[in-house]
Every structure is written in C-alpha cells, then in structure tokens.
Amino acid sequence: MDHSEELDNVESGKSGKSAGKRCWREIEALKEKRRLQAELEEYGYAEELDDF
C-alpha cells in the first residue's frame, strides 16, 4: 500500500470536532512514519522497514 492509499483510508466522512482531530492525528502519524522510514533508509537500515 502506498502512502496515498493510506491517506485515503483515513476516515474523513465523520462530522464533529473530535472526528476532525482524530483524522488529523492519523495523518500526522502517517507523515511521521514516512519521515522515520526515510531516515532509516538514509542510515542504511532499509532492510528493517519490513518489521514496521
């Protein structure tokens, strides 16, 4: 699953303030995961990405 599919899977149809915050947190978590994966690849630990 690529990153655009992951973002599509985030629930965006719910209304309300708490649903919006939850959705935003999920998006931020995905961005952080991508950032950490890129950092691991930079240091040569790309083989370990399958464990996540």
Burial bucket for residue 6 (CB in 10 Å: 0-12, 13-18, 19+): middle
Taking only the tens place, the pLDDT of each residue in 3-47 is 666 566 655 554 567 888 899 999 999 999 999 999 999 988 866
Q: What is the per-residue pLDDT for 19? A: 87
pTM, two decimals, is 0.52
Q: What is the per-residue pLDDT for 45? A: 81
Check residue 10 and report its DSSP letter: S
pLDDT grade, residue 48 (50/70/90)? low
Q: What residue ranges do the domains of the chain occupy?
A: 16-51
Q: What is the per-residue pLDDT for 31? A: 97
